[in-house]
Amino acid sequence: MLLNALILLLLTVGNTELAVAVLNRVHGFCITHHVLRRFRHLHDALLVAGPIGLVCFAGFGESGVFNGGTWRHLPPAVFAWVMLCLAGLAGFCWSVIRWNLQLRPKTLTNDDAHVYDLSGNPGPPPIGDGPHSFLARIPGNEVFHLESGTKTYQLSSIPSEWHDGLRILHFSDLHFVGTPTRDWFDRIIDAAADFEVDLIAFTGDLIDREHLISWIPETLGRLTAPLGCYFCLGNHDWYRSDTERIRACLSDCGWTSVAGRTVVVEHKGRKLALSGTELPWMGQHPDMAGVGTDTFSLLLSHTPDNLGWARKHGINVMLAGHTHGGQVALPVIGPVFAPSRYGVSRAAGDFMVGNMLLHVSRGIAGDKPLRWNCRPELTKLVLKRLKTEETCLTFSLQPSAS
């Protein structure tokens, strides 16, 4: 009896893993927000109904294991369900093992980050009138703790002329929704402006409430870099806003859209190709036919799901966001939800895929203000050909006790 109860418990874990895995991958396709919301409601109902159904049919149903039956003699449909749950359990175990044994790429030679408490202490927290604002007040929520720092990579693809490397400020997923106030984003931009970089890259999900486009000039509009500021948009911009208004406002503030196109600039005597893609939601992939093999290429993509296309077209470095690192990373288990066709395996971090570097940012905010063991992230990437010491810059904020 006790063994059968334990088996049923493990099967419910597998059932949950299957449901979450399907939900993660559905979010990797071009589906409208209204349809996704209905799918999530169905998913949540199945999360509750699944364990109940397993107990009823496999435990106490005809030939159920608590009624004297055996697992092998369950009705065919119930037995097939049990086998699927076992497959889900195996997938869950593999995900946990991968999370705990994941290795940083050898190309990452330095990672110096600090955590800053931007919650307003000793003043009131910067919580506005946006949706789900109650989540921001949950004790232990790290939504207002910024992890900011420098990562240095040694890449063979970096031109030899770039003795000091290429310095990129990468951030993603600002989500202007009104829950964190403008003051919170002002602090983020102040921190970003303190980095000395060659270019700035923003990888989408900027506007969740269209009237907050008015925040752009006094936030992103304050950032500049010698080689320019570049952006692509994301699925939330597509869901809820006039994307042409967003692009026009950013353009007026000196930002350059690379969505579906390639911009070539010169950096220390060598060409740098900056491209972008907003697929699967908008536009098309950039045409890389005119980019020579001797040109270093950087791709901005809202989602890491465009990884395969990037590799096929010889991209050297790909920057992405969208997954928020899962927003919540459970002890031992790691992140559970990541809206990607890769599930949680590309939820955040650094990955060498062949000769290409992929950096997936945890993002700055989200439409739901909840973060635990997955702080907002603002990162300076230093790409070098030779391994040298990199002096990390800090800015005038006091690190939190965490």
Residue 398, in any domain of the structure: no
Percentage of the chain beyond pLDDT 70 is 96
Distance of CA 92 to the CA centre of its chain: 20
Residue with tokens 């907002």: 376
CB 360 within 8 A of CB 320: yes
Would the pLDDT of 98 be above 80?
A: yes
Residue 66: DSSP 8-state: G
Cis link prior to 75 (omega < 30° from 0)? no
Q: Is 41 found in the same domain as 82?
A: yes
Which residue among 84, 101, 118 closes a domain? Answer: 101
Residue 296, in any domain of the structure: yes
Residue 400, in any domain of the structure: no
At 124, the pLDDT band (50, 70, 90 cuts) reads confident
CA 22/CA 26 separation, integer angstroms: 6
Distance of CA 153 to the CA centre of its chain: 20
Q: Is 258 found in the same domain as 138?
A: yes
Residue 401, in any domain of the structure: no
Continuous H helices in 56-206? 76-101, 182-193
pLDDT at 396: 43
What letter represents residue 135's amino acid? L
CA dihedral 264, 265, 270, 272 (to 10 degrees): -50
Q: Mean per-residue pLDDT for 238-266?
A: 96
Q: Mean per-residue pLDDT for 329-357?
A: 95
Q: Across all residues in the chain, what is the average pLDDT?
A: 92
List CB contacts of 25: < 8 A, sequence separation 6 or more.
Answer: 340, 341, 343
- Phi/psi of residue 323, nearest 5 degrees: -85, -15
Residue 8, in any domain of the structure: yes
Q: Which residue has the higher pLDDT, 187 or 387?
A: 187
CA 218/CA 182 separation, integer angstroms: 9
Tally of CB atoms within 10 A around 369: 26
38 three-class SS: helix
Would the pLDDT of 392 be above 60?
A: no
34 three-class SS: helix
The terminus-to-terminus CA distance of the chain in angstroms comes to 45
| DSSP percent split of the chain into helix, strand, coil, nearest 5 | 35, 25, 40
Q: Is 129 found in the same domain as 86?
A: no
Would the pLDDT of 389 be above 70?
A: no
Q: Is 131 found in the same domain as 60?
A: no
Q: Is 218 found in the same domain as 367?
A: yes
Q: For 202-211, 252-261, 390-399, which range has the lowest pLDDT when averaged over its residues?
A: 390-399
Q: What is the pLDDT of residues 57-67, one digit of tens each?
A: 999 988 889 88
Which residue among 47, 78, 101 closes a domain? Answer: 101
CA 373/CA 331 separation, integer angstroms: 9
Per DSSP bridges, beta strands 356-360 and 377-384 are unpaired
Tell me the CATH number at 167.
Answer: 3.60.21.10
- Phi/psi of residue 207, nearest 5 degrees: -115, 125
Percentage of the chain beyond pLDDT 90 is 84
Residue 334, in any domain of the structure: yes
Q: Mean per-residue pLDDT for 184-190?
A: 96
pLDDT at 391: 40
Q: What is the pLDDT of residues 30-54, one digit of tens each?
A: 999 899 999 999 999 989 999 999 9
Which residue among 80, 101, 122 closes a domain? Answer: 101
pLDDT at 387: 54
Per DSSP bridges, beta strands 108-117 and 145-154 are antiparallel
CA 30/CA 263 separation, integer angstroms: 26
Q: For 118-132, 210-224, 331-345, 360-374, which range has the lowest pLDDT when averaged over its residues?
A: 118-132
Q: What is the pLDDT of residues 274-299, one digit of tens each?
A: 999 999 999 999 999 888 888 999 99
Q: Is 354 found in the same domain as 237?
A: yes
CA 22/CA 343 separation, integer angstroms: 9
Q: Is 127 found in the same domain as 64?
A: no
**What domain range is 52 assigned to?**
2-101
CA 32/CA 36 separation, integer angstroms: 6
Q: Mean per-residue pLDDT for 235-249?
A: 94
pLDDT at 313: 95
Q: How many domains does the chain have?
A: 2
Q: Is 328 found in the same domain as 265?
A: yes
Q: Is 116 found in the same domain as 78?
A: no
pLDDT at 293: 83
pLDDT at 401: 42
Q: Is 280 found in the same domain as 160?
A: yes
Closest residue by Cα to residue 373 from 336, 345, 343 = 336
Q: Is 114 found in the same domain as 65?
A: no
Q: Mean per-residue pLDDT for 233-255?
A: 96
Q: Is 308 found in the same domain as 200?
A: yes
Q: What is the pLDDT of residues 254-266, one digit of tens each?
A: 999 999 999 999 9
- Phi/psi of residue 23, nearest 5 degrees: -60, -45
Residue 292, in any domain of the structure: yes
CA 368/CA 278 separation, integer angstroms: 22
Two structure tokens written together for 45: 């109902």
At 156, the pLDDT band (50, 70, 90 cuts) reads very high
List CB contacts of 44: < 8 A, sequence separation 6 or more.
Answer: none
CA 71/CA 3 separation, integer angstroms: 12
CA 177/CA 202 separation, integer angstroms: 17
CA 147/CA 157 separation, integer angstroms: 28
Residue 166, in any domain of the structure: yes
